[in-house]
Amino acid sequence: MEKYNHKAIEANWQKYWEDNNSFQAEDESEKEKRYILVEFPYPSGTGLHVGHIRPYTALDVYSRYLRMQGYNVLYPIGWDAFGLPTENYAIKNKIHPRVATEENVNNFKKQLQSLGLSYDWSREINTTDPNYYKWTQWIFLQLYKHNLAYKKKMPINWCPSCKIGLANEEVVDGKCERCKTETTKREKEQWMLKITQYADRLIDDLETVDYLDRIKTQQINWIGRSEGAEIDFEINGKNVTVFTTRPDTLFGSTYFVLSPEHELVNEITTSEQKKAVQAYIKEARKKSDLERTELQKEKTGVFTGTYAKNPANGAMIPVWIADYVLMSYGTGAIMAVPAHDARDFEFAQKYNLEIKPVVKGKEEIADQAMTEPGVAVNSDFLDGLTTVEAKEKMSQWLEKNKTGKKAVNYKLRDWIFSRQHYWGEPIPIVYCDKCGEVPEDEKNLPIELPDVENYEPTDTGESPLAKIEDWVNTTCPKCGGAARRETDTMPNWAGSSWYWLRYTDPNNDQALADPVKMKYWLSVDLYNGGMEHTTLHLLYSRFWNKFLYDIGVVPTSEPYKKRISHGMILAEDGRKMSKSFGNTINPDDVIEKFGADSLRTYEMFIGPFADTIPWSEQGLVGVRKFLEKVNDYFFNYEASDKPELSKLVALNQAVKKVGEDIASFRFNTAISALMILFNELKSGDDNYYLTTEDTDKIVIILAPLAPHLAEEIWKQLGHKDSIFSQNWPNYDEKLLSQQKINLVIQVNGKLRATLEIEPGIFQEEVEKLAKDNEDVIRWLEDKEIKKVIFVLNKLINFVV
Ligand code: ANZ
Ligand code: ZN
pLDDT bin (cut points 50, 70, 90) of residue 157 is: confident
* Residue 332 near ligand 1, beta carbon < 6 Å: yes
Q: Which ligand is nearest to the CA of 227?
A: 1
β-strand pairing of 795-799 with 741-747: parallel
Ligand 1 atom with least separation from CA of 328: 17
Ligand 1 atom with least separation from CA of 259: 17
- For 315-347, write each residue's pLDDT tens digit: 999 999 999 999 989 999 999 999 999 999 999
Residue with the smallest CA separation from ligand 1 atom 10 is: 226
* Alpha carbon distance 538, 217 (integer Å): 13
Q: Where are the alpha helices (DSSP H) in 69-174?
A: 84-93, 97-113, 130-145
Give the pLDDT mean for 179-199: 91
* Alpha carbon distance 91, 464 (integer Å): 12
Distances (CA, A) of 713 to 117, 143, 162, 722: 19, 54, 53, 11
Q: Are 300 and 267 spatial neighbours (Cβ–Cβ below 8 Å)?
A: no
Give the pLDDT mean for 394-400: 97
* Alpha carbon distance 130, 136 (integer Å): 10
Whether the pLDDT of residue 353 is over 60: the answer is yes
pLDDT bin (cut points 50, 70, 90) of residue 1 is: very low
Give the pLDDT mean for 360-370: 51
Residue with the smallest CA separation from ligand 1 atom 19 is: 325
- For 400-436, write each residue's pLDDT tens digit: 999 999 999 999 999 999 988 899 999 999 999 999 9
Distances (CA, A) of 156 to 45, 88, 419, 752: 29, 21, 11, 87
Closest Cα to residue 660, out of 69, 212, 33? Answer: 69
Other C-beta atoms within 10 Å of 18: how many? 12
Environment class of 98 (CB within 10 Å of its CB; exposed 0-12, middle 13-18, buried 19+): middle
Whether the pLDDT of residue 737 is over 60: the answer is yes
Q: Are 374 and 387 spatial neighbours (Cβ–Cβ below 8 Å)?
A: yes
Give the pLDDT mean for 9-15: 96
Q: Map residue 615 onto helix, strand or coil.
A: coil
pLDDT bin (cut points 50, 70, 90) of residue 366 is: very low
Q: Where are the alpha helices (DSSP H) in 491-616?
A: 499-502, 515-521, 537-550, 587-594, 596-605
Closest Cα to residue 337, out of 7, 567, 187, 312? Answer: 312
Q: Are 677 and 648 spatial neighbours (Cβ–Cβ below 8 Å)?
A: no
Please provide the size of the chain in residues: 800
* Alpha carbon distance 68, 701 (integer Å): 10
Residue type, 147: N
pLDDT bin (cut points 50, 70, 90) of residue 686 is: low
Ligand 1 atom with least separation from CA of 337: 3
Residue type, 310: N
The overall average pLDDT reported for the chain is: 92
Could you tell me which residues come within 8 angstroms of residue 82 by beta carbon, excluding any fewer than 6 positions away?
127, 128, 423, 424, 425, 490, 492, 494, 495
Give the pLDDT mean for 457-475: 86
* Per-residue pLDDT, 765: 84
Determine the distance separating the centroid of ligand 2 and the alpha carbon of 3, expressed in angstroms: 74
Q: Count CA within 13 A, CB hemisphere, residue 439.
A: 19
* Per-residue pLDDT, 685: 61
* Per-residue pLDDT, 272: 96
Q: Are 90 and 97 spatial neighbours (Cβ–Cβ below 8 Å)?
A: yes
* Alpha carbon distance 90, 232 (integer Å): 55
Residue type, 316: M
* Per-residue pLDDT, 782: 83
* Alpha carbon distance 388, 229 (integer Å): 13
Determine the distance separating the centroid of ligand 1 and the alpha carbon of 391, expressed in angstroms: 14
Reading across the β-sheet that carries 415-416, which strands appear in turn? 164-166, 149-159, 184-193, 415-416
Dihedral over Cα of 657, 662, 665, 667: its sign = positive
β strands within 215-323, DSSP E: 226-235, 238-244, 255-258, 301-309, 316-322
Ligand 1 atom with least separation from CA of 253: 1
* Per-residue pLDDT, 164: 79
Q: Map residue 773 onto helix, strand or coil.
A: coil
* Per-residue pLDDT, 733: 87
* Residue 340 near ligand 1, beta carbon < 6 Å: yes
pLDDT bin (cut points 50, 70, 90) of residue 687 is: low
- For 574-595, write each residue's pLDDT tens digit: 999 888 888 989 999 999 999 9
* Per-residue pLDDT, 358: 95
Spacing of C-alpha 690 from chain mean position:
44
* Residue 243 near ligand 1, beta carbon < 6 Å: yes
- For 20-59, write each residue's pLDDT tens digit: 999 999 998 999 999 999 999 999 888 999 999 999 999 9
Q: Count CA within 13 A, CB hemisphere, residue 497.
A: 30
* Residue 744 near ligand 1, beta carbon < 6 Å: no
Spacing of C-alpha 496 from chain mean position:
12
Q: Map residue 172 onto helix, strand or coil.
A: strand
Q: Count CA within 13 A, CB hemisphere, residue 301.
A: 31
pTM of the predicted model, to two decimals? 0.86
* Residue 244 near ligand 1, beta carbon < 6 Å: yes
* Per-residue pLDDT, 636: 67
Whether the pLDDT of residue 293 is over 80: the answer is no
Percent of the chain at pLDDT > 70 equals: 97
Q: Which ligand is nearest to the CA of 242?
A: 1
- For 94-152, write each residue's pLDDT tens digit: 889 999 999 999 999 999 999 999 999 999 999 999 999 999 999 999 999 999 999 99
- For 609-621, write each residue's pLDDT tens digit: 999 999 999 999 9
* Residue 211 near ligand 1, beta carbon < 6 Å: no
pLDDT bin (cut points 50, 70, 90) of residue 456 is: confident
Whether the pLDDT of residue 19 is over 60: the answer is yes
Residue 88 Ramachandran class (φ > 0 left, ψ -120 to 50 alpha, else beta): alpha
Determine the distance separating the centroid of ligand 2 and the alpha carbon of 758, expressed in angstroms: 88
Task: Calculate the CA dihedral of residues 711, 113, 61, 637 and round it to 10 degrees.
Answer: 20
Could you tell me which residues come within 8 angstroms of residue 103 by beta carbon, excluding any fewer than 6 positions away?
45
Q: Are 50 and 615 spatial neighbours (Cβ–Cβ below 8 Å)?
A: yes
In the chain the first and final C-alpha atoms are separated, in Å, by 52
Residue 419 DSSP label:
B
Determine the distance separating the centroid of ligand 1 and the alpha carbon of 245, expressed in angstroms: 6
Could you tell me which residues come within 8 angstroms of residue 736 by beta carbon, excluding any fewer than 6 positions away?
649, 652, 653, 656
* Alpha carbon distance 194, 414 (integer Å): 5
